[in-house]
Amino acid sequence: MGVRILSMIINGNIVFAVLILVSILFRWTEGLYSAAFLATLMAVIAFLRSQAQPNLFSEILPGLRQSYQTSRILNLDLDELHTKIQRLMVEEKVYQEENLNLANFAERLRIKDYQLSEYINAYLGMNFNRFLNEYRIEEVCKKIEEQPKVNLLHLAYQVGFNSKANFNIAFKSVKKMTPSEYAKGIKKPLTSVKVAKRK
């Protein structure tokens, strides 16, 4: 039952995307209205189904949660792994390396990349790119506070970003504002990087 509903939602999203694409390509206004109607209808159906069958989505979720049910990090010393990650990120600042990726970071930790990915996802609640970007953005924020008139693009390259676009997207994702807004004094309190705490 749950799988059938999930496939209905996925198929509805495909139809929605096709309607939007056709509408944009052919400037078909009715298609946009149809897509909006379809999206609204799907939301209403999902709501009514969840009211009629409160356990509906709990039937779907177990299948989605099984990805880490057979954990590949059970044989690792998680406290030791946490300490190694802290050392590499805080003391050695490996996040400043432009070409740092999941595979070569895992290699430094002497674990498999899928184990590192599972650890970051399961215990830190984010993916590797988000994890890396949070460190980079925090470093940028510290440097902005120390030297408010510093060149932001220079800072971005210094902490490991390889393009202005990636830097701006990552900064806005982490800080909910652009780097320029942050530098102009629209500052929010710094959030601690999540690796400091485990769930």
71-199 in CATH: which number? 1.10.10.60
Has residue 90 got a pLDDT over 90? yes
Q: What is the mean pLDDT of residues 9-37?
A: 66
Residue 184: its pLDDT value, please?
Answer: 87
Of 81-95, 144-158, 182-196, which gets the smallest average pLDDT? 182-196
pLDDT category at 71 given cuts 50, 70, 90 is confident
Q: Please report, for the chain, the start and end positions of each structural domain, with discontinuous segments joined by +.
A: 2-68, 71-199
Has residue 132 got a pLDDT over 90? yes
Residue 61: its pLDDT value, please?
Answer: 46
The pTM assigned to this predicted structure is: 0.59
The 8 Å CB, 24+ separation contacts for 109-118 are 109/81, 109/84, 109/85, 111/76, 111/81, 112/72, 114/72, 115/72, 115/73, 115/76, 118/68, 118/71, 118/72, 118/73
Q: Of 193, 79, 78, 84, whose CA–CA distance to 131 is shortest?
A: 193
Residue 18: its pLDDT value, please?
Answer: 63
Residue 81: its pLDDT value, please?
Answer: 95
Has residue 140 got a pLDDT over 60? yes
CB 96 within 8 A of CB 160: yes
Residue recorded with tokens 């970003």: 161
Q: What is the mean pLDDT of residues 113-129?
A: 94
What is the distance between the alpha carbons of residues 20 and 199, in angstroms, rounded to a whole number?
40
